[in-house]
Amino acid sequence: MSDGELAQAHKGKAPIADVFWSFLKIGGSAFGGSTQAMMHREVVERRQWVDDEAFLAGLAIAQVLPGANPVNLALYMGMKARGGLGAIVAVTAMIIPAFCIIMLMGFAYRQYSGLPITHFVLGGVAAVGIGATLAVGAKVTSKLPREIWTYAIGLAVFVAVGVLRWPMLYVVAVAVPLSIGIAWLGAREAK
């Protein structure tokens, strides 16, 4: 059975307790960009609730919608794993530990922000988040179709947002219809 077939067999049937504990673990142990990496590992590789294609679609949707990307992604993955109830449970489980950790870190930062070590610790956490984001990006990107347009649009979005600092909303408003149009034309030519 292929990964896609296995994910389809599990679709919407995940035990609600598994959804809760999986997203509680992700919410309590993932920082910054590492949330996407941990979620991919949990829902695609470990639990096989979705395949890589569905994860990538959810990631794209989560980044386009307003709100926190990890919460949006948890909502999408919870929905895929167990429907509406799964979405509610996944989001709640993601938020509970994050809320508690943020409260504790805020208190600690208020108490220890004057110490030089505090800034080194925060810099280290940021580096881990960036590294995890790049790792999941490389892993998921390796599964995309090997077409020049895929790379061209990805590079254009990176330059527009990351280098030129253009607003994400405008870049997405252009890149999404362009990507859909190119994919549609490619599928039409393939027939």
Structural domains counted in the chain = 2
Residues 160 and 111 reside in one and the same domain: no
Mean local confidence (pLDDT), 31-56:
87
Q: What burial class does residue 181 get, using C-beta atoms within 10 Å of its C-beta: 0-12 exposed, 13-18 middle, 19+ buried?
A: exposed
Residue 66: which residues within 8 A CB-CB, separation 6 or more? none
Residues 128 and 167 reside in one and the same domain: no
Mean local confidence (pLDDT), 55-80:
90
Residue type, 137: G
Residues 121 and 191 reside in one and the same domain: no
Residues 75 and 123 reside in one and the same domain: yes
Could you tell me the residue range of the domain that residue 43 belongs to?
Answer: 3-142
In sequence order, what DSSP letters do the residues of 126-165 get, joined into one string?
Answer: HHHHHHHHHHHHHHHHTTS---HHHHHHHHHHIIIIIIS-
Q: What is the pTM of this model?
A: 0.62
Amino acid 7: pLDDT:
47
Residue type, 106: G
Final residue before a domain boundary, out of 142, 159, 178? 142
pLDDT tens column, 106-145: 898 888 888 888 888 888 878 887 887 788 778 777 777 7
Long-range contacts at 97-106 (CB < 8 A, ≥ 24 apart): 97/24, 97/27, 97/28, 97/29, 98/27, 98/28, 101/28
| Count of other CB atoms within 10 angstroms of residue 114 | 6
